[in-house]
Amino acid sequence: MLAAICTADLDCSLNGVCVGGACKCDRPWTDSADGSEGCSVLDILPHPNDYVPAYGGPRTSTSYHKQNLTSWGGNILLGDDGKYHLWVSAMDGGGGLGVWTHGSRIDHAVADDPMGVFELVDTALPKEAHNASPLRAPNNSYLLFHIGNSGGAAGGSGFAHHSQRPEGPWLPLTGPGCNNPAPMFAKNGTAYVGCKDGGFRVYRSDDVFGGEWEFVTTMAFPPAWGGDAKEYLKNEDPYLWADRRGHFHMIAHRYDYRDGFPPNPNETMPVLVSGHGYSTDGLDWHFNSVQPYEAKITFANGTVQQFSTWERPHLLFDKSGVPTHLVNGVQPYWMGPRGPCDGCDARPGSAHSCVVCKSSPGIDYTYTLVSRLNS
């Protein structure tokens, strides 16, 4: 691995500092393999050989009705009880991810270890509620951002709910019209939320419980994240956080519809699934071209499992603010009869697009994957 050369901390993706012309990365970040971008890649540790997915799980049949549970994304918070609490989208009635628009609920599950299997405690919000994004407020209450009006339950907010306890009851919060809200708190206690509404629009509030939000900015993505190929290159599922220095960061699901079968000379390789952005003030954003992680895991015995997509990124932090685990919604379908993603639906640029394997009929099974970071 080549060391990244720098002249300022921005050259280290704000995930480290520039010292003597070289990036000194904060764990769990590391330089890109070719040294072109400093501190731009998450250092993911090998998964245990006997790892079982955190919630839901791979099935032996490709027929969704034989899957006990399809889950998608979500995030983990450390509770005051010392246990790890997961809020995650679960497809009601045993359906695959293809039913998410009407059959998704938000489950609350608990484990003693983030790398363990999370056991269901209760359903926090009934269907339709999807893309759970929980976090702790400065007053230690629990916030649960999402899309969908949860069947009108508890006021039916399609933005967020809050509770004093992880088991609820959950009370609605008002906010801006927001698709896939990505909430965070800055070091001064100000709340921000990113929304995918014709671009990543960012809002701020000094009182999330009062419901007053003001528009801050729309992130302007570089050509490498879209540009002339915007029909094929897409960005979604932002996740925001502030690091220990107060810098703003975002990881998101990036994808290229051309990734699939048959191979396309213009597709991104390896399969595009992630991107990282960073800012000193939340207004002026910079973006890495190298992925912070790829759609694969390595096991302790050296074997590798490839996925058609890794989406819905979230991070779990320790008490000092260091990221310790990466949480994703994943689709384990990979090798079809003729090649990667063969058998998945088509999108512009590919006859079988990897990113839509997750919702293709008959193979629309997904689960929640937790990866330990080298923290």
Least confident piece of the model among 15-24, 58-67, 294-303: 58-67
SS3 335: strand
Find out whether 105 and 126 touch, Cβ atoms under 8 Å. yes
Task: Write the CB contacts of 266 (distance below 8 Å, at least 6 apart in sequence).
Answer: 229, 232, 258, 349
**Domains of the chain (ranges, CATH numbers):** 1-43 (no CATH), 46-372 (2.115.10.20)
CA dihedral 105, 190, 184, 76 (to 10 degrees): -70
- pLDDT bracket for residue 153 (50, 70, 90): low
| CA separation for the pair 199, 92 (Å, rounded) | 30
If you average pLDDT over residues 123-143, what whole number do you get? Answer: 95
Task: Sort 190 into a burial class: Cβ within 10 Å, 0-12 / 13-18 / 19+.
Answer: middle
- Helices and strands in the chain, H and E counts: 1, 27
pLDDT band at 278 (very low <50, low <70, confident <90, very high): very high
Q: Is the pLDDT of residue 68 over 90?
A: no
Tell me, what's the pLDDT at 53?
A: 87
